[in-house]
Structure 1
Amino acid sequence: MNQQKGILLESGTNELELVEFGVGTNKFGINVIKVKEIIQPVDVTLVPHSHPHVEGIIELRGEILPVVNVARALNSEPMPQTRASKFIVTEFNKQKMVFHVDSVTQIHRISWNEIEKPSHMYQGLESHITGVIKLNGDMILLLDFEKIVVDISPEYGVSVEKVKKLGERERSEKKLVVAEDSPLLRKLLQETLNEAGFINLEFFENGQDALNFLLSLIQEGKAIEDEIQLVITDIEMAQMDGHHLTKRIKETANLEKLPVVIFSSLITNDLLHKGQMVGANAQVSKPEIGELVAKIDQYIL
């Protein structure tokens, strides 16, 4: 799996690779970047009073990792474990977790613009789905793993409490553009940025919509520096990812000086150079909202 990672997210190409896996009758996908390895299920140690979605813990190469049953997290009845069952070992949001799935089939290399926004009728799964890929006659659902983690452990989410210690602040004259595909994260970001004094926010579900908005301001003859002070973007988004959005901003006349802060669960030492290559002014790992606010202040004040 590690060999796959060198070709991913190359300087904002707007491409990714997905690991396809099955849970019940549904096919799902997870970004290869989040996957450390895929292993056969091993014995799990039960933890008393743990969250219902957590099967227990395992030891893997000296680390103690929680095991999340994805079927339970999706409010489905777990299927009996078979030889096809797999443990997907992941790392994002600066933490490692294991996800128990019914099967892992293959890896697909696709463009973010092939990923469509989910409708509100995906068998009650819409709150857990960030995108849909039509591939070889099948529907692969892009699962919101960050939401699963926050449902289990809210402390891993973006929290208003983390910025309240900043005290009362006046930032109403500053306008920010935020590109984030997760409805949960958009809501949490709005609450926390409002608490930090930023009330003039323009949210978009993907990088393409955010870029179209910025380009429309130029077409209207408006000075970007008077309209928008900074862009915050996730990396993983349908239609256009955050690396490609950053690259487009930095390569576009009248936009290139606009500060861009990447705020993503994929900010790791191995991936920092990707954001640097496309010209990001700063990169902050979710859910470090206090650090994000500090970076915003640094670039707009």
Structure 2
Amino acid sequence: MAGILDTVDQRTQLVGQNRLEILMFRLSGRQKFAINVFKVQEVVQLPRMTLMPHRHNSVCGVINLRGQTLPVIDLSRAIGLRPLTPDENSTIIVTEYNRSVQAFLVGGVDRILNLNWDAVLPPPATAGRQHYLTAITKVDEELVEVIDVEKVLAEIVPYDTRISSERLSDPILERARGREVLCVDDSIVALAQLRDTLSQLGVVIHTASDGLKGLRQLQKWADEGLVLSEKLLMVFTDAEMPEMDGYRLTTEIRHDPRMSDLYVVLHTSLSGNFNKAMVQKVGCDNFLSKFQPEKLVDVIKERLLLDEPQEA
């Protein structure tokens, strides 16, 4: 499986076409799970692992991989399933989320599959491990569950959404009070982080759980005769979402004259350099990696400064 991602760089051409590739794997049972290939650095056999005292119960230990110390997370246990037993034959998936790298212990890797985002649906509103899913899809008549890794990581290392009092006292940020934003994301953790941070600025927050719902909300406001660039300070959109991804959402916004001048921020846990290139390709105004409250405030300030009259 070490060579399964050899051509991953070639797959970046899928982005912007409402397509994605998922890496499918199993945990402690027969059920298939998946994560986006773009989050994956490599798939390797578990190296020698060192146990850590006082570790989170979902963390098996740490490994040294090419000079980098990484936590190994039992993904099965983290989402409420039967724990895995690590041994010399175990497989790990090394991933990067929100500027951090970690290894997930899995029961075995299946394959990489190319999909349309419109074939990937939100999970049903049921209990149990659905709480740890962002989407579901079907492959060869089998259900595949896409894991909300951001939620898993947030439970192991909680995110801090506090803004310093010094930043909050900036008079420019006072102009944000009462302004409205639309936040589009399929992760409840990411939406909560946006809400917790923006509420400290007095911002009114609207949310949508995928790009299609976000687009329909914008169209509804436009059909009501609202001037969207006046109603909304900006739109935050995740990159990868079921039914319609953030790149396609941005493209749809730019092609509709009623909303084409909206300020759109790509807010994602995917690779920063890759997304900065995609920002230009699809027409976003800004890019922000997730779970950085201070930088989120910087983006708000940049947008507010655009409303200032320009000197002649």
Note closer, same or farther for the CA distance 1:128–1:197 as it changes in structure 2 (3 Å cut). Answer: same
Which residue number corresponds to residue 253 of structure 1?
257
2:93 to 82, 88, 96: 88
Distance 2:91 2:286 in 1: 36
Which residue number corresponds to residue 265 of structure 1?
269
Which residue number corresponds to residue 240 of structure 1?
244
Assess if the C-alpha contact under 8 Å between 2:76 and 2:82 holds in 1. yes
2:109 to 86, 104, 109: 104
Which residue number corresponds to residue 137 of structure 1?
141
Is 1:28 aligned to 2:38, yes or no?
no
The 10-residue stretch of structure 1 (73-82 or 220-229) with the greater mean CA deviation from structure 2: 73-82
Q: What does 1:34-73 correspond to in 2, within 5 Å?
A: 34-73=39-78
In the TM superposition, residue 236 of structure 1 has moved relative to its aligned partner by 1.6
In the TM superposition, residue 95 of structure 1 has moved relative to its aligned partner by 1.1
Which residue number corresponds to residue 283 of structure 1?
287
In the TM superposition, residue 218 of structure 1 has moved relative to its aligned partner by 2.3
- What secondary structure, in the 3-state scheme, does the structure 2 residue paired with 1:239 have? coil
Distance 1:129 1:11 in 2: 22
Distance 2:99 2:161 in 1: 20
Assess if the C-alpha contact under 8 Å between 1:9 and 1:16 holds in 2. no
Distance 2:100 2:22 in 1: 20
- TM-score normalised by the chain length of structure 2: 0.89
What are the Cα deviations for residues 174-195 of structure 1, in whole angstroms up to 9, with x where unaligned? 1111101112222232121101
Is 1:13 aligned to 2:17, yes or no?
yes
Distance 2:252 2:88 in 1: 45
Give the AA of the match of 2:77: R
Give the AA of the match of 1:30: I
- What secondary structure, in the 3-state scheme, does the structure 1 residue paired with 2:272 have? coil
Give the AA of the match of 2:38: I
Aligned residues: 296
Which residue number corresponds to residue 160 of structure 1?
161
Is 1:173 aligned to 2:174, yes or no?
no
What are the Cα deviations for residues 250-282 of structure 1, in whole angstroms up to 9, with x where unaligned? 222121211001111114213320122101111
Q: What does 1:111-130 correspond to in 2, within 5 Å?
A: 111-121=116-126, 124-130=128-134
- What secondary structure, in the 3-state scheme, does the structure 2 residue paired with 1:189 have? helix
The 10-residue stretch of structure 1 (219-228 or 259-268) with the greater mean CA deviation from structure 2: 219-228
Q: Percent identity?
A: 30
Assess if the C-alpha contact under 8 Å between 2:77 and 2:84 holds in 1. no
The 10-residue stretch of structure 1 (288-297 or 47-56) with the greater mean CA deviation from structure 2: 288-297
Distance 1:41 1:215 in 2: 49
- What secondary structure, in the 3-state scheme, does the structure 2 residue paired with 1:161 have? coil
Which residue number corresponds to residue 80 of structure 2?
75
Note closer, same or farther for the CA distance 1:164–1:6 as it changes in structure 2 (3 Å cut). Answer: farther
- What secondary structure, in the 3-state scheme, does the structure 2 residue paired with 1:120 have? coil
Note closer, same or farther for the CA distance 1:222–1:270 as it changes in structure 2 (3 Å cut). Answer: closer
- Structure 2 residue ranges without an equivalent (≥5): 306-312
What are the Cα deviations for residues 15-37 of structure 1, in whole angstroms up to 9, with x where unaligned? 10000000122210010000000
The 10-residue stretch of structure 1 (143-152 or 248-257) with the greater mean CA deviation from structure 2: 248-257
In the TM superposition, residue 48 of structure 1 has moved relative to its aligned partner by 1.2
Distance 1:2 1:269 in 2: 19
Distance 1:24 1:11 in 2: 31
Give the AA of the match of 2:293: I
In the TM superposition, residue 115 of structure 1 has moved relative to its aligned partner by 1.2
Is 1:189 aligned to 2:223, yes or no?
no
Give the AA of the match of 2:269: S
What are the Cα deviations for residues 211-269 of structure 1, in whole angstroms up to 9, with x where unaligned? 11112222233222222221011112111111111121122212121100111111421
Note closer, same or farther for the CA distance 1:130–1:288 as it changes in structure 2 (3 Å cut). Answer: same
